[in-house]
Chain A
């Protein structure tokens, strides 16, 4: 089977792009990526996006973005797996290249969240959950985050003041992250003094609303490549987090570790992790489910500096979902582009020393879809 290489990446800043449309952002990311790779023939373009149909009344994104980017005639489609759209698109590109079906697949993740009122964006972001039985009650992603955080703190006698070191770390990493939405540090005190959104979860412990686009050219051709994708896959479980035997587990991730190991990658050897840290509790649950932290200890370890950029296991090295920003369907593409910057030594001031192997975990909702991608030198 063939290897899969990342030949080039391109991204826009994450933030509030009032002056620019979804297609403007996607085209910028595509053109940067294609210029860098000198316009090879593209066999397929996959557009990862969650909410354009609902928020912007625009579908058919595959064709629209391909034609606007000068790739008219290329196979192109849109992939939707809620917040994990990006990770699922990359896993799909990976398997198509490895199987020999296609040689060059362009993945572009794009989301435009700020063109609408925040309450409409929140409702749309929550459509990762079951409309008939979860959203109908009035609950949204903040409600679920509140409940999971309460369950986590109670089960492990953990402290919220420790748990919110995750957004503190994310913001610290975003200061020197050129494309991050919030390039400023915050303290635990800032988080604890920010407005309560669903207790105990505070505003600064929740994902921002963001616009942005990121693209990767994935290829079987190693020439001029910046990184290798050595594993990329995803699994699904249920939309109903509460009906799982243990709502604090992410069974989808557990099965990914098994296949990761079968693929010859030891999770213990990862040099850094791009986390789906929309809420601190998800960052902790993910690290523990992957076996990178003991059950119930991730928060304390975050407080003790283990996950800092110069710590034992750096996370969210360009700010993560919390501070780089959370352009939902595009966020998984940003993660892998950032991992490629790390392993190729192009992470600037955020460079993780001797970064050879990084993984990116991109979830929908609270782990109903879990994608995992390994990026190596």
Chain B
């Protein structure tokens, strides 16, 4: 069982490493994950755009029941983050002390290991978020 074939991951790696999203050149709205057609105005005039690295933690949850691919990392804390351009992203929260986690705090995107395919397999990296205030 797997959450994603390795090639699918490889193909999308720049989006995981850098959070490259989209901007619609017709209506100006920005999106992450990237889109091919603007879900707001329907335009296909879409450009790639690097998402801001900073945002605000809307809310978070600690998931204790995980699928087989992530079971060994149990529990995992996830945050719903609003980036500074208004785009919302779901991602893991890392490098925090429990008392730091509050709704509304500033968070910063970081690259961290997500998981690996066994001892000899591919190591999957991707964006996570960490508190950016004391």
A residues lining the B interface (CB < 8 Å): 54, 117, 119-120, 122-124, 126, 130-140, 142-144, 146-147, 150-151, 154, 195-199, 201, 203, 238, 240, 242-243, 247
A119, A131, A195, A196 interface centre (most CB from chain B within 10 Å):
A119
**B97 CB-CB contact with A under 8 Å:** no
How far is A52 from B33 in the complex, measured between Cα atoms in Å? 28
| Further 4 A-B residue pairs, CB within 8 A, beyond A122-B66, A197-B65 | A123-B1, A138-B66, A147-B59, A198-B65
Q: Is the CB of A122 within 8 A of B61?
A: no
B residues lining the A interface (CB < 8 Å): 1, 3-4, 8-9, 12, 15-16, 31-33, 39, 58-71, 73, 76, 78, 80, 87-92, 103, 114-115, 124, 126, 128
Q: Is the CB of B64 within 8 A of A147?
A: no
Q: Is the CB of B67 within 8 A of A123?
A: yes
How far is A133 from B34 in the complex, measured between Cα atoms in Å? 10
Which residue of the partner chain A has the closest CB to B5?
A131
Q: Is the CB of A133 within 8 A of B3?
A: no
Which residues of B sit under 8 angstroms from A134, Cβ to Cβ? Answer: 90
Contact of B64 among A135, A144, A150, A196 (CB under 8 A): A196
Which residue of the partner chain A has the closest CB to B70?
A138
How far is A151 from B57 in the complex, measured between Cα atoms in Å? 12
Task: Report the minimum CB–CB distance from A136 to chain B (whole Å).
Answer: 5
Q: Is the CB of A138 within 8 A of B59?
A: no
Task: Report the minimum CB–CB distance from B62 to chain A (whole Å).
Answer: 5
Q: Decide: A139 near B90, CB < 8 A? Known: A147-B80, A242-B80, A243-B31.
A: yes
How far is A128 from B76 in the complex, measured between Cα atoms in Å? 20
Which residue of the partner chain A has the closest CB to B8?
A132
Which residue of the partner chain B has the closest CB to A118?
B65
How far is A195 from B65 in the complex, measured between Cα atoms in Å? 10
Which residue of the partner chain A has the closest CB to B127?
A137
Q: Decide: A132 near B12, CB < 8 A? Known: A138-B73, A150-B61, A240-B33.
A: yes
Of the A-B pairs whose beta carbons lie under 8 Å apart in the complex, a sample of 27, sorted by A's number, is A120-B1, A122-B67, A123-B1, A123-B67, A123-B68, A133-B15, A134-B90, A137-B91, A138-B3, A138-B66, A138-B73, A138-B114, A139-B90, A140-B63, A143-B78, A144-B90, A146-B62, A147-B61, A147-B90, A150-B59, A150-B61, A197-B63, A198-B63, A198-B78, A201-B61, A240-B33, A247-B88
